[in-house]
Amino acid sequence: MITCRKTHVTWCVLRHIRSLYSTVNDNHSIVSLFSKTGNWATELNNDVRIEIENHWKPQLKEHDIKYRSLQTSDKSEKEKFYVLSMFPYPSGSLHMGHVRVYTISDAMARFNRLGGKEVIHPMGWDAFGLPAENAAIERGEIPQDWTKKNIESMKKQLEDLCCSFDWDRELATCDPKYYKWTQYIFLKMFEAGLVYRKQAEVNWDPIDQTVLADEQINEEGLSWRSGAKVEKRNLPQWYIQTTKYAKSLIDGLSEVNADLWGDVISNQKNWIGKLAYPIHFKYKVNGQVQEDCLTVKMTHLEYIYGISHINITSLHPLFQIYQVSSLLYTLLFEEEKTIYCITAVHPLTDSDIPVYYTEQSIQLDNTAARQDSHVAIPSINSSDQLEADRLGLSWIDVIDSKAKIVNSNQVTFKMKMLGEVTSSRLTDWLISRQRYWGTPIPIIHCPKCQVMNIEDLPVELPRVKQLSNKGSSPLSQIEEWVNCQCPKCVGDAKRETDTMDTFVDSSWYYLRYLDVNNQQLPVSKQLADQYLPVDLYIGGKEHAVLHLYFARFFNHFLNDIGILKHREPFIDLLTQGMVLGQSCQVKSTGQYVPADQVNIKGNGGVEKATGEPVELQWEKMSKSKYNGVDPQDVIKEYGVDPTRLCILSSVSPMSNRYWSEKEYKGILKWQYRIWVLIGDYMKYSKQDYTTSTSDLIHWNQELFEARNSSVHEVTYQMRKNYMINAAISRLQKFTNILKKCPPGIMRNCEEFERCLADLIIMLAPFSPMFACEYWAGVSSTVNFTHSLYQWDRIVLDQTWPLVDDNYQYEMSIKKNERDQFSIKLPLGRLNDWTYEEAVVLAQSDPQFMKHFKNVHIKHKSFRIEKDYKAWLTMHVGKEKKTRESENIADEHLNAHS
């Protein structure tokens, strides 16, 4: 809801913006297909559709360029809206998933521009990584050339889709001007003690010849990319200590929009796991204290006095040291005693704690993550008690008879001695990759000075003539690049030959978009403070754990070192569903076959060649399953705007889209209905019609309600819920109302003209080219003077319609969550409406008795969605006459007597 005072202020701002951008078109007349031909075609066939799009596509591209230029030069203070879609890997071709996510982001960008906001809508390329390197090897090319060619191809496809990206902000992670700052942030983490290198058993992909993080291996132990069975190797690796930020990342989830993040919040929490304390025990071998420490995690530090023993698995570093010796023995429950020679020293009591090796899987919480150690506390864990008793171990009961924790005050006092809070399940982020096509790690290894960071950035990748995917890192084979001078002692040294995990590159790209040409910093603090956090982040739910976790970690770190003001990078999150295609799988063989080889009947089918039964399934689009759809094919067949509308309508953006070309039928029909509606308006406007005053009053009120309710609903769905499908559905309903208007109303009713104008403006974010052509037709035939519109400008230069000051908002009356009827609220009232007022208003309405007579109302609940609507729900039992329903009836009659 917009109050009278706010409306006047808003219109003032919008008129200023409209005036400012009125120079976007050099000509003061709209150059449209209609204005060129002077003919509004009676039929909207495919040829006309393609002709309209071919006419408007270059004009929209030019318009968007000029708009961005004017926005850059405009110094007036406007509300910002940063809409960001996850940038793609440049494979060379868009798929339908790309079409969906980038059409969603474009619709949101165009909507907010029409609303007068300063919109940031950038695009770039997640260009490093194994796919590009492997593809280049297969084709005998170098990754730089292959990637550049693919970027050019995909950029052209996005422009053809009429996506209004800020191409002046374009970046690619493989550009030295970008990865210079990836290296800069890496070194800042190195200086802060978050980056370290250690020898470790790592996951080795024998096909891609590189190290994989634990997160890149599926439950079967296979590589997420190549599908190879992962092997174990011992290599020196680089890590980023993300676990230090576990508590910060958990706490930060309270700052995001929980309604839109939904279960992504729980996914993030589950990924991080319970908070735990790393305890660094001194340990003894045969009674001799060792120099290093035995590190284990505890989720309940207050129970530390009750430790009986420690179990470690083969994942623990201590096992790697002693696995071949006789000092460590397997914990066997069937034996009465197990000999042990390794003990940990209790950090608070200095007592010895026996250490055992176990082959059992260890978990610290209810996640599936395996842990390398477990601290046994019999007081709180029956399994631990069973183990301790069988081993004949003594232990302290840290829970007294009143269930109070013993010595908890001492533990709290000494907590800081034991380490910083961390994640119960996560390990630090392994970022080393033994491949060429990635950001070089800016480190030099000097025999004298040890590890040295490089201040002269960027450390650029050397160009290579030919790559191989065999053996060690490709960079290690380029001697003229590897051999260098130490920046400190000027002696002979060698460069680090590992490159960074591509998740590092994509963890901060949203910052660089804001200041893509800055040569002094990754982003200026002034611009970061002004435009962050991202208002709406759009991407697949498959990225809702890893990518979001790493990006949030980067943002928290940059906040800690003073580069960023905001701790969380993204406030609203839209995780769009997948676009699924129907596959046909022969039941007897499991083989996938193309749909044209199947006789489909109902929910199943038979293979034409064999008569074998075929199972129809909705699955992720794939060439191997013959269920993929090339966006270029459907765009060529139906057009860009119908494809945009098809991918946006019918289902929530967050739900999976079951792709079928049958969806085009309804979209094309709606497009045609608007086309005919405008044609009728243009035709009737040239004729004389006499309309009675009573008809004008009736239709004026009907159309006033239809226009305001449509503007109200569409605006709410776009601004609050991002339910684009609901907005489009409301526009279709609005179109049907306008189609019912008789010729005289189209000619003589000013409200009809406003309805038609607002319909086209609200359609523009979803179908920009056709909205421009529709607007050209209406603007050529205007019968009334409207200060709200600039008829000599294209529709994209208009301002988003607002609800009129004299429009009354609604309260919906529900019976057990089902709508029964609606009541208009008093003028200007909604957000301050009270429960008591709602009950009185509902019970005084004549419809109340119709729906609730002889109904037992158990209780009532009341809810207001700010600036949108109110709901009063009657929670009822069986519908029978009761004393309460009689009392309600009496109240109703008394109110009207």
Q: Is residue 113 part of a domain?
A: yes
Residue 429 bridge partners (DSSP): 240
Domain co-membership, 292 together with 372: yes
Q: Is residue 552 part of a domain?
A: yes
Identify the CATH number of the domain in which residue 849 sits: 3.10.20.590
Question: Is 218 in contact with 394 (CB distance < 8 Å)?
Answer: no
* pLDDT of 455 strictly over 70: yes
Amino acid 117 reads: K
Q: Strand 275-285 relative to strand 288-298: parallel, antiparallel, unpaired?
A: antiparallel
Q: Strand 118-120 relative to strand 432-433: parallel, antiparallel, unpaired?
A: unpaired
Highest mean pLDDT among 61-75, 366-380, 851-865: 851-865
Gap between the Cα atoms of 892 and 149, Å rounded: 74
> Any idea what DSSP says for residue 346?
P
Q: How confident is the model at residue 211 (pLDDT cuts 50, 70, 90)?
A: confident
Amino acid 670 reads: W
Q: Three-state SS for 831? A: coil
CA 589, 594, 597, 602 dihedral sign is positive
pLDDT at position 681 is: 95
Of 53-67, 290-304, 430-444, 850-864, the least confident: 290-304
Identify the CATH number of the domain in which residue 390 sits: 3.90.740.10
pLDDT at position 878 is: 66
pLDDT at position 503 is: 97
Name the pTM for this structure.
Answer: 0.86
Percentage of residues of the chain with pLDDT beyond 90: 59
Q: Is residue 528 part of a domain?
A: yes
What average pLDDT score do residues 24-36 get?
A: 55
> What is the signed CA dihedral for 97, 101, 106, 108, rounded to 10 degrees?
150
Is residue 401 exposed (0-12), middle (13-18) or buried (19+ Cβ within 10 Å)?
Answer: exposed
Cα angle for residues 446, 450, 455 (degrees, 5° grid): 75
Is residue 469 exposed (0-12), middle (13-18) or buried (19+ Cβ within 10 Å)?
Answer: middle
Q: How confident is the model at residue 755 (pLDDT cuts 50, 70, 90)?
A: very high
Max Cα separation, the chain? Answer: 108
Identify the CATH number of the domain in which residue 125 sits: 3.40.50.620
Q: How confident is the model at residue 542 (pLDDT cuts 50, 70, 90)?
A: confident
pLDDT at position 295 is: 85
What average pLDDT score do residues 182-201 get?
A: 93
Domain co-membership, 508 together with 498: no
Domain co-membership, 208 together with 144: no
Q: How confident is the model at residue 897 (pLDDT cuts 50, 70, 90)?
A: very low
Q: How far is CA 660 from the centre of its chain?
A: 25
Q: Is residue 888 part of a domain?
A: yes
pLDDT at position 301 is: 80
Gap between the Cα atoms of 484 and 454, Å rounded: 11
What average pLDDT score do residues 174-200 get?
A: 95
Q: Is residue 465 part of a domain?
A: yes
pLDDT at position 392 is: 87
Domain co-membership, 50 together with 160: yes
Domain co-membership, 85 together with 135: yes
Domain co-membership, 73 together with 96: yes
Domain co-membership, 355 together with 447: no
Per-residue H/E/C for 739-795 = HCCCHHHHHHCHHHHHHHHHHHHHHCCCCHHHHHHHHHHHHCCCCCCCCCCCCCCCH
Q: How confident is the model at residue 745 (pLDDT cuts 50, 70, 90)?
A: very high
What average pLDDT score do residues 700-706 get?
A: 96
Q: Is residue 204 part of a domain?
A: yes
Domain co-membership, 552 together with 608: no
Q: pLDDT digit string (tens) for 331-353? A: 433 343 344 578 899 988 899 99
* pLDDT of 417 strictly over 60: no
The residue among 476, 503, 530 that closes a domain is 503
* pLDDT of 15 strictly over 60: no
Of 416-420, 724-728, 777-781, the least confident: 416-420
Domain co-membership, 554 together with 509: yes
Nearest to 247 by CA among 566, 548, 552: 552
Gap between the Cα atoms of 767 and 112, Å rounded: 15
pLDDT at position 411 is: 53
pLDDT at position 407 is: 57
Q: What is the mean pLDDT of the chain?
A: 86
Gap between the Cα atoms of 315 and 50, Å rounded: 62
Domain co-membership, 335 together with 289: yes
Structure-block tokens of residue 705: 């309600």
Edge-to-edge strands, sheet with 450-453? 450-453, 443-446, 492-495, 483-485
Q: pLDDT digit string (tens) for 97-139? A: 999 999 999 999 999 999 999 999 999 999 999 888 888 888 8
The residue among 474, 503, 532 that closes a domain is 503
What average pLDDT score do residues 427-454 get?
A: 91
* pLDDT of 458 strictly over 50: yes
Q: pLDDT digit string (tens) for 478-532? A: 999 999 999 889 999 999 999 999 999 999 999 999 999 999 999 999 999 999 9
The residue among 454, 479, 503 that closes a domain is 503
Nearest to 594 by CA among 604, 608, 610: 608
Q: pLDDT digit string (tens) for 757-787? A: 999 999 999 999 999 999 999 999 988 888 8
Nearest to 297 by CA among 398, 417, 412, 424: 424
* pLDDT of 37 strictly over 60: yes
Gap between the Cα atoms of 745 and 753, Å rounded: 9
Q: Is residue 682 part of a domain?
A: no
Gap between the Cα atoms of 421 and 707, Å rounded: 56
Q: Is residue 741 part of a domain?
A: no
Structure-block tokens of residue 118: 């300063």
Structure-block tokens of residue 518: 């800055």
Tokens 């704690």 belong to: 353
Domain co-membership, 499 together with 472: yes
* Number of domains composing the chain: 5
Find the domain containing 838 and state its range.
810-896
pLDDT at position 76 is: 66
Highest mean pLDDT among 123-137, 197-211, 349-363, 546-560: 546-560
Domain co-membership, 383 together with 511: no
pLDDT at position 219 is: 81
User: Strand locations in 67-225, DSSP E?
Assistant: 80-85, 118-120, 122-125, 166-172, 195-205, 210-212
